[in-house]
Amino acid sequence: MLGNPEPDPPPIHPMSDPTLPLFIVMNAGSGSTAADDRRAVLESVLDEAGRAHETVVVADPSTLPAEARRAVARARAAGGAVVAAGGDGTINAVAQQVLGSGCPLGILPQGTFNYFGRTHGIPTDIEAAARALLRARPRPIRVGLVNDRIFLVNASVGLYPELLQDREWWKQRYGRNRFVALLAALSTVLRGYRPLRLELDSAHGSGTVRTPTLFVGNNPLQLERLGLPVDTAIGEGRLAAIVVPPLGPLGLVGLALRGAFGELGSAQTLLRLDVEQLVVRRSRLRLRPRRRIDVATDGEVAPLPLPLRFRVAPEPLLLLVPDREAPDEAQDGAARVAGGDPAAGAAPRAG
Is-contact 42 30, C-beta < 8 A?
Answer: no
Q: Which amino acid is at 89?
A: G
Is 300 among the residues known to form the active site?
yes
Catalytic residue from among 300, 315, 325, 329:
300
DSSP bridge partners of 200: 207, 280
Q: What are the phi and psi torsion angles at 317 (to 5°)?
A: -90, 130
Q: Which residues contact 112 (CB under 8 A, 6 or more apart)?
A: 87, 176, 177, 178, 181
Q: What are the phi and psi torsion angles at 57 (to 5°)?
A: -95, 125
Distance CA 196, CA 87 (A): 29
Instruction: State the burial class of residue 287 (Cβ atoms within 10 Å of its Cβ: 0-12, 13-18, 19+).
Output: exposed
Q: What is the DSSP letter of 238?
A: B
Distance CA 225, CA 115 (A): 10
Residues with a catalytic annotation lie at: 300
